Structure 1
């Protein structure tokens, strides 16, 4: 099957370097790298700009194909009516058809394939994160059967991928429902306590309660790192599942000297960026002041009871952190807040019940996630077949 460089068939445009000072409350939705997810444009953390004569050419149209040029390069999404009005930001490229030999839907399916992403990934350069240029996209070769065959392939893909999309959507809904089921039970467990037991502040229920320490500036000074003392960050807490068993960095003796080593069993609570994420340390560790450490008084409570308690209040705590450039809460958020602390026997009853439910929900979520992964692999296999000579020839028969 004949292949040609994409540059012979497409028009490619890089986005404009809008500044944060250009953001407005209402205007064109600015499509940034983070908004370009595979096969969809995410509306998370939307920013808006007003276009003028200089930037009007960066206004997007329905059907435009977008791809990321930095980081996780090669993610592809199509602009639909719901995204408009929208504008193209830097490090995002717009791909449009510039030849009557290429069907726009065929182009989109090709750009959505692993073949396109892998080709870009191989060409990406940069140590910290990959970058690709418009020219490198133009050099990628695309199979070009006749327009009739292209339309046949698109029809085949639309039918096959629509079915997979429906099953994936159902699995994702079930995944969300499983988490919601646990969240409802979590809130119910603590709402039922109400005022029927002792009410304590977190400081009153702990023998040590405070923020982590990382006094040295700059914080990323290499002379602090690479030793035997685990250094836990907010992302580590967020990515754990109740118990924090791994970490991404470590301090040496210099790092420890300007920080604090918290004991195994410390409950970590994030208060900046990733607000109200919680985990119990499975080892001694240091952490920065974006994490609160709670070493519970075991005469009054357990770290696992308090962890579940704070998880039941997660949405409330997160709402208190909104309003600044980076969401955050602090020790004062907890200073006067009183929480229910029933007898230790009742606390164990609650945590045992939630542990069992959490385990069952985790199994459900793992099954749904595996199903979604398998369906995505199937989707990639279908796309791969679609752009191989085998299927192109088969569709032509």
Structure 2
């Protein structure tokens, strides 16, 4: 089990397996079905429940319930709320770690088992609505991807033999800022991996957290309208290569060192066409780098990607279609965000700070 496998509440499959020989000659333990999983570094705070016996890598702790006065689903939502509360507190663009000692000593206030189960029912009701809205969002994404392939073909295979250009010839790539929790002196909004979610673009800066840096980032590390930002590194392999467009308008906005910024400098390509091209499944596969626990995407990998360049009139035809779908997508995304805010508000009420 890796963090990338923990995308849903219940986990019943893994991307990788360990052999009997590997298991018998290592220190890993087999966790029972029903064990609660909690990530303790990289993508800190991810929570899931095992539905199968499994081992985990070192980024995940397994929690077995020993006390009948504790409902497992209550603990699941309690730990999930820790992630939500920490995200809403401001900082957090850098990847932090906790250790087993901190986890073992975490204090959990336990109401009666009846109250615990009532809390679970309320939070599960919201979570289920989020799942439905996310499913609708995926259907809309699939519609746009299907239209893209119909019009242009797979961008890696390029079956329609469009002219291609390397990404490095069409714009500028730049890594984000690195900083430590002790840095201070210059406050600035900072786009981080957690801001990406399934968004197509971001233009509301009120949702972006602020970080403290030792000094002002240089001009190339400040984002401009129409910049496209990629996830460069994350413990969850599924997030690497994810991208979105940003429109900070007049606000100062930088971006985390776990991201790469691309700024289009070519007149041959439409921003929305390019963004959808980079979001295609085959292009995402071409982007994924190599790594152990944290997967990596580099400027070198991005710069060598060949991008098909159809006529601008055809690009615009696709963009017009995608924008119509994105109106429905925006509504679905707003619904998800409102539901998540409701979940976070209730979780804070139930579990406190």
Scaled to the shorter chain, the TM-score interval is 0.5 to 0.7
TM-score, normalising length: structure 2 = 0.60
Helix, strand or coil at the partner of 2:306: coil
Q: Is the Cα contact below 8 Å between 2:172 and 2:264 reproduced in 1?
A: yes
Q: Which structure 2 residues correspond to residues 382-397 of structure 1 after superposition, within 5 A?
A: none
Q: Does 1:295 align with 2:242?
A: no
**In the TM superposition, what whole-angstrom CA distance separates every residue of 1:7-53 from its partner, at most 9, and x where no partner exists?**
xxxxxxxxxxxxxxxxxxxxxx6xx888778852465665756257x
Shift of residue 177, structure 1, vs aligned partner:
3.1
Per the alignment, residue 66 of structure 1 pairs with 36
Cα shift readout 1:120-151 (whole Å, capped 9, x = no counterpart) = 97xx9xx97884537956x846459xxxxxxx
Which position in structure 2 is the counterpart of 1:113? 74
In structure 1, the residue matched to 2:314 is 346
| Matched residue SS, 2:284 | helix
Question: Are 2:233 and 1:264 equivalent residues in the alignment?
Answer: no
CA 1:43–1:318: 2 relative to 1, 3 Å: same
Question: Which residue number corresponds to residue 220 of structure 1?
Answer: 179
Alignment partner, residue 201 of structure 1: 166
Structure of larger gyration radius: 1
Change (3 A) 1:198 1:267: same
Count of residue correspondences: 311
Instruction: Return closer, same or farther for 1:141/1:67 CA change in 2, 3 Å cut-off.
Output: farther
- Structure 2 residue aligned with 1:318: 285
Matched, 1:210 2:211: no
Say which SS state the counterpart of residue 210 (structure 1) adopts. Answer: strand
Q: Distance in 2 between matches of 1:180 and 1:303?
A: 19
1:179 and 2:141 aligned? yes
**Which residue in the other structure is 2:201 paired with?**
242
| Structure-to-structure mapping, 1:49-198, within 5 angstroms | 50-51=23-24, 59-62=30-33, 65-66=35-36, 68=38, 77=49, 79-80=50-51, 83-84=52-53, 86=55, 91-96=61-66, 110-113=71-74, 117=78, 131-133=102-104, 140=110, 142=112, 173-191=135-153, 195=160, 198=163
Q: Which runs of 5+ in 2 are unaligned?
A: 86-90, 118-122, 235-239
Task: Quickly say closer, same or farther: Cα 1:199–1:170, change in 2 above 3 A.
Answer: closer
Query: Higher RCO, 1 or 2 (CA under 8 Å, sep at least 6)?
Result: 2
CA distance in 2, matches of 1:168, 1:239: 13
Contact conserved, 2:229 with 2:245, CA < 8 A, in 1? yes
**Cα distance per residue 1:265-321 (max 9 Å; x no partner):** 3333444442141313434644448413223334x3333332233223x54333442
1:330 aligns to 2:304 (yes or no) = no
Kept in 1, the 8 Å contact 2:6–2:46? The answer is no
In the TM superposition, what is the alpha-carbon distance from 1:355 to its structure 2 partner? 0.8
